[in-house]
């Protein structure tokens, strides 16, 4: 296939929102326990944080990390996870049919986030709890001192407030699977009143109302409308969540970023309609705070999902191993987020370790990067300055779900200060290389500064993954043959590949 991209330094969408490259740590399976935290592991520090995992997290560099759930948060008592560890109770986590030891809680997470160099983002429980508990945790986290909960934090060894800015008002409250699931009207009222009370405790916070758990929920659209009618003046963001997997048509799976595009554009349209009707001045942005590839059909067959497992501490749950195909899809999902960076200003890949993770770790053993970590890390590192309005004219292919879809998918940024164009490109064609021509005349003299690609190497196929024995089997390798001449860059993308090209 062939594709022609048109870019111009004057045609930009928005500054790259740094919080677009977030991730998520839920008390679920082995994300926390034996993921980021494992006292007794040879690489654990004095607080039990795994330094081998921390090193990999620092390389990935998620700019924000959401915590502690997810479905978990809708039954969570945050107070159980603070104070002397020997006094912390064990509880049943109904969301993931596990035993929560509470050895790790808010204080440990704040310490971990600092060590990882990331911004913490907290979710509160609006499933089984409400306004008062939301204000209590906020007082514990952000109030300097001299009150019950701020003094408790200080007594627990944290003199300085955690100063957490981003707060999610519950999780997936539209989902019948959620403990404390609500109708849009019930949730909208509770979220508005909780937000109002939380802002009285700390007016500097930013608040996320729950949007839909995916675009195919029966309440999609109407949920956003009703929730935003109730909460518009009290919140800053509406959330979106989306997970994709390959069913019986790889071409469909490779095109699933179209679903993300449509999801984002529909939520923006709904939010703007509420804005117009309510004569509001501000815009509501999207916090796409859960997104990834997730083989949900496999999970639905598991004993945990069927309620047939024993109650265990940190069982293995949804430890999907990601292939080259999954990495290409993740690259296209990042493209979709970046293309909409004027309105999607927070996003969290879900999740960071083990549970549908960018990273994997074994108890007492090693930690490594999954295939999907590579596009995430590269876009986080190299997207800088302004998002370019990349116009793509590509050969197309037919898909059952999305109709005709571009074989070449792209996004890009322009860092005017350093004179760098970064392009993120995917070739969805499974058998043919793609020739991509990019008109770069408007940027002055450019040369290739960096070009790397993720694709099947000799002896591999689209299903190849990384594992404990082969942690580096799939990664990036130099992309040869990129040329810039007469105001045009030419890139050849191998079949089924994701690439980054930097011109400076
Ligand atoms: O990330 C896994 C789960 O997916 C989260 O707990 C929930 O919010 C979503 O359904």
Rounded distance, CA 231 to CA 196, Å? 9
Q: How confident is the model at residue 88 (pLDDT cuts 50, 70, 90)?
A: very high
Instruction: Give me the sheet containing 237-244, strands edge to edge.
Output: 23-24, 64-67, 119-124, 166-169, 206-209, 237-244, 285-293, 344-349
Q: How confident is the model at residue 353 (pLDDT cuts 50, 70, 90)?
A: very high
DSSP string, 199-223: HHH-TT-EEEE---SSTTSTTTTHH
At residue 222, the pLDDT reads 98
The set of protein residues with a Cβ atom below 6 angstroms from ligand 1 is 26, 28, 69-71, 171-172, 213, 290, 350-351
At residue 169, the pLDDT reads 98
Q: What is the pLDDT of residues 451-464, one digit of tens each?
A: 999 999 999 999 99
Query: Which of 30, 69, 71 is the pocket-test mutation for ligand 1 (most atoms within 8 Å of CB)?
Result: 71
Domain with CATH 3.20.20.80 in the chain: 17-382
Mean of pLDDT values over 396-413: 97
Write down the catalytic residue from 38, 290, 377, 386. 290
Q: State which ligand 1 atom lies nearest to the alpha carbon of 69.
A: 6
Q: Name the CA dihedral angle for 331, 336, 338, 343, rounded to a multiple of 10 degrees.
A: -150
Residue bearing tokens 């991730």: 23
Q: State which ligand 1 atom lies nearest to the alpha carbon of 28.
A: 6
Ligand 1 centroid to residue 66 C-alpha, Å: 12
Q: State which ligand 1 atom lies nearest to the alpha carbon of 350.
A: 1
Q: What is the pLDDT of residues 220-230, one digit of tens each?
A: 999 999 999 99
Exposed/middle/buried for residue 99 (C-beta within 10 Å: 0-12, 13-18, 19+):
middle
Mean of pLDDT values over 19-26: 98
Q: What is the pLDDT of residues 42-64, one digit of tens each?
A: 999 999 999 999 999 999 999 99
Domain with CATH 2.60.40.1180 in the chain: 387-503
Query: Which of 173, 243, 289, 293 is the pocket-test mutation for ligand 1 (most atoms within 8 Å of CB)?
Result: 243
Q: What is the pLDDT of residues 166-203, one digit of tens each?
A: 999 999 999 999 999 999 999 999 999 999 999 999 99
Q: What is the pLDDT of residues 67-83, one digit of tens each?
A: 999 999 999 999 999 99
229 is catalytic: no
Mean of pLDDT values over 286-310: 96
172 is catalytic: yes
DSSP string, 115-133: HHT-EEEEEE--SS--HHH
State the architecture of 387-503 in CATH terms.
Sandwich (2.60)
Mean of pLDDT values over 129-135: 98
Write down the catalytic residue from 100, 172, 230, 386. 172
At residue 158, the pLDDT reads 98
Q: State which ligand 1 atom lies nearest to the alpha carbon of 95.
A: 6
Mean of pLDDT values over 409-414: 98
The CATH number that domain 17-382 falls under is 3.20.20.80
The mean of the pLDDT values for the chain is 98
């Amino acid at each position: 296939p062939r594709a022609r991209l048109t870019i111009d330094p004057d045609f930009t969408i928005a500054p790259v929102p740094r919080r677009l490259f977030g991730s998520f740590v839920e008390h679920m399976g082995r994300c926390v326990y034996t993921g980021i935290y494992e006292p007794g592991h040879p690489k654990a520090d004095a607080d039990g944080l795994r330094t081998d995992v921390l090193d990999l997290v620092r390389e990935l560099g998620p700019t924000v990390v959401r915590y502690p759930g997810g479905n978990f948060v809708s039954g969570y008592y945050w107070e159980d996870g603070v104070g002397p560890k020997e006094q912390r109770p064990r509880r049943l986590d109904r969301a993931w049919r596990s035993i929560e030891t509470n050895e790790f809680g808010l204080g440990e997470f704040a310490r971990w986030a600092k060590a990882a160099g990331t911004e913490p983002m907290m979710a509160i429980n609006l499933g089984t709890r409400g306004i008062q508990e939301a204000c209590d945790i906020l007082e514990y986290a952000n109030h300097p001192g001299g009150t019950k909960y701020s003094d408790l934090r200080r007594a627990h060894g944290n003199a300085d407030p955690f100063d957490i800015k981003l707060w999610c008002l519950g999780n997936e409250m539209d989902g019948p699977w959620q403990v404390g699931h609500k109708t849009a009207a019930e949730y909208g009222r509770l979220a508005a009143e909780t937000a109002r009370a939380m802002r009285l405790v700390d007016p500097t916070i930013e608040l996320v109302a729950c949007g839909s758990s995916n675009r195919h929920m029966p309440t999609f659209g109407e949920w956003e409308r009703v929730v935003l009618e109730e909460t518009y003046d009290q919140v800053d963001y509406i959330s979106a969540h989306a997970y994709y997997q390959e069913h019986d048509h790889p071409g469909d799976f490779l095109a699933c970023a179209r679903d993300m595009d449509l999801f984002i554009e529909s939520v923006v349209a709904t939010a703007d309609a509420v804005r117009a009707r309510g004569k509001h001045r501000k815009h509501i942005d999207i916090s796409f705070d859960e997104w990834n590839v997730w083989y949900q059909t496999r999970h639905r067959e598991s004993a945990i999902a069927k309620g047939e497992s024993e109650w265990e501490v940190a069982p293995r749950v949804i430890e999907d191993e990601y292939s080259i195909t999954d990495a290409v899809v993740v690259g296209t999902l990042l493209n979709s987020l970046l293309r909409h960076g004027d309105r999607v200003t927070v996003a969290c890949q879900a999740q960071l370790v083990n549970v549908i993770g960018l990273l994997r770790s074994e108890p007492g053993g090693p930690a490594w990067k999954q295939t999907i970590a590579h596009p995430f890390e590269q876009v986080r590192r190299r997207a800088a300055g302004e998002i370019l309005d990349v116009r793509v004219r590509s050969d197309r292919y037919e898909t059952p779900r999305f109709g005709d879809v571009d074989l070449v998918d792209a996004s890009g940024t322009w860092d005017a200060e350093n004179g760098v164009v970064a392009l993120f490109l995917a070739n969805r064609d499974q058998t043919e290389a793609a020739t991509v021509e990019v008109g770069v005349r408007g940027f002055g003299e450019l040369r290739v500064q960096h070009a790397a690609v993720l694709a099947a190497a000799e002896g591999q196929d689209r299903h190849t993954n990384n594992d404990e024995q082969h942690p580096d089997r799939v990664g990036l390798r130099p992309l040869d043959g990129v040329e810039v001449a007469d105001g045009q860059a030419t890139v050849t993308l191998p079949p089924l590949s994701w690439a980054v090209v930097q011109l400076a």
